[in-house]
């Protein structure tokens, strides 16, 4: 640190000190490690799935979700009066977010593959599948499609992790895997 200006005004012609070169090399190596870590974590981290996204009007997506629910409803959840839908393995499954619920409740089979289509009818929502910690950003007018193969049985919570209004804290859904 200096109170007086440098004796030479052309600072970039000054030779670089050895300790500065060492820190530049350390920073470069660290950048390369982090750069390599990103694709590794994408493949082996199982947190943010590879997905496709399509522009879809909310009314059209709602019609697809209603048709799937009508065709494959097995029961209605007693507390929330939301249908529980059990689509066949390998099929397209639709889940929609709207103030303040995920609809419908899905019942999937363990070790079977599904194409999960998610969209919002109104605001931006966050799809967070707990406890697996899968996170997706769900936007109205866009259909996000992920291929999933549940490998654990149980009851999984779908939580909205993007603030969507006063009822945000109640926006919960379920996925059963049997």
Beta-carbon-side half-sphere exposure of residue 42 (alpha carbons within 13 Å)? 8
pLDDT at 8: 67
Q: Is 128 exposed, middle or buried (0-12, 13-18, 19+ CB in 10 A)?
A: middle
pLDDT digits (tens, 9 = 90+) for 149-166: 999 999 999 999 999 889
pLDDT at 46: 63
The two most distant CA atoms of the chain are separated, in Å, by 82
142 and 134 in contact (C-beta within 8 Å)? no
Delimit the CATH 2.60.40.420 region(s) of the chain: 51-177
pLDDT digits (tens, 9 = 90+) for 28-87: 999 999 999 988 887 777 666 778 889 999 999 999 999 999 999 999 888 888 999 999
What CATH architecture does domain 51-177 belong to? Sandwich (2.60)
Q: For 55, list phi and psi in degrees, rounded to 5.
A: -80, 120
pLDDT digits (tens, 9 = 90+) for 93-121: 999 999 889 999 999 999 999 999 999 99
pTM for the structure as a whole: 0.74
For residues 117 and 106, what is the distance between their CA atoms, to the nearest angstrom?
Answer: 12
Q: For 65, list phi and psi in degrees, rounded to 5.
A: -65, -40
pLDDT at 35: 94
């Amino acid at each position: 640190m200096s109170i007086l200006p440098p004796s030479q005004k052309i600072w970039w012609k000054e030779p670089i000190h050895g300790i500065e070169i060492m820190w530049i090399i350390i920073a470069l190596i660290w950048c390369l490690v982090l750069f390599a870590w990103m694709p590794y974590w994408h493949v082996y981290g199982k947190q943010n799935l590879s997905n496709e996204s399509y522009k879809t009007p909310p009314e059209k997506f709602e019609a697809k979700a209603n048709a799937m629910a009508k065709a494959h409803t097995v029961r209605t959840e007693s507390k929330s009066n939301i249908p529980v839908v059990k689509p066949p393995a390998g099929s397209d499954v639709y889940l929609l977010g709207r103030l303040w619920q995920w609809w419908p409740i899905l019942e999937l089979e363990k070790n079977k593959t599904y194409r999960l289509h998610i969209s919002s009818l109104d605001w931006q929502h966050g799809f967070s599948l707990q406890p697996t910690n899968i996170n997706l950003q769900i936007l109205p007018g866009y259909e996000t499609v992920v291929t999933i193969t549940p490998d654990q049985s149980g009851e999984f919570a779908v939580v909205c992790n993007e603030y969507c209004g006063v009822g945000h804290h109640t926006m919960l859904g379920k996925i059963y895997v049997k």
